[in-house]
Amino acid sequence: MIKVHCGMDEAELKVKQSLLRPVLLPSTIGSSSVFVSSLYGLEPKKRKGVSGVVEKDFNIGARELDGKIERMFYTSGLSFHFVRNPHYINAFKSDCSNPIPGYLPQGYDSLRTTLLQKDKANIERLLDPVKDSWMAKGVSVCSDGWPMFLKAVNCEEEVKDKNFIANLLIDSIREIGPQNLVQVLYLALKTLNESGHEQVYNAVQKPLLLAQTAAVLEILHGLVGLVRSPITSTLPQISSRLYVTWGILWSFPQIQTHILVSSLVISWSVTEIIRYSFFGMKEAFGFTPSWFLWLRYSTFLLLYPTGITSEVGLIYFALPYIKESDKYCIRMPNKWNFSFDYFYAAILVLGFYVPGSPHLYGYMLHQRKKALSKSKRE
Q: Catalytic residues, which ones?
A: 304, 311
Distance from the first to the final alpha carbon of the chain: 87
CA distance 237 to 137: 25
Strand 35-37 to strand 24-26: parallel, antiparallel, or no bridges (unpaired)? antiparallel
Number of Cβ within a 10 Å radius of residue 30:
11
With CA atoms as reference, report the closest residue to 46 among 69, 62, 64: 64
* Burial (CB count <10 Å: 0-12, 13-18, 19+), residue 282: middle
Handedness of CA 190, 240, 353, 322 (dihedral sign): positive
| Cβ proximity of 170 and 181 under 8 Å | no
With CA atoms as reference, report the closest residue to 201 among 187, 213, 211: 187
| Cβ proximity of 249 and 314 under 8 Å | yes
For the stretch 39-42, contacts whose Cβ atoms lie closer than 8 Å and that sit 24 or more positions apart, written own/partner, are: none
Provide the greatest CA pair distance for the chain. Answer: 124
| Cβ proximity of 308 and 360 under 8 Å | no
> What phi, psi does 26 have (nearest 5°)?
-70, 140
> What phi, psi does 28 have (nearest 5°)?
-90, 10
Eight-state DSSP code of residue 37: E
| Cβ proximity of 360 and 237 under 8 Å | yes
With CA atoms as reference, report the closest residue to 40 among 24, 17, 62: 24
3-state SS, residue 303: helix
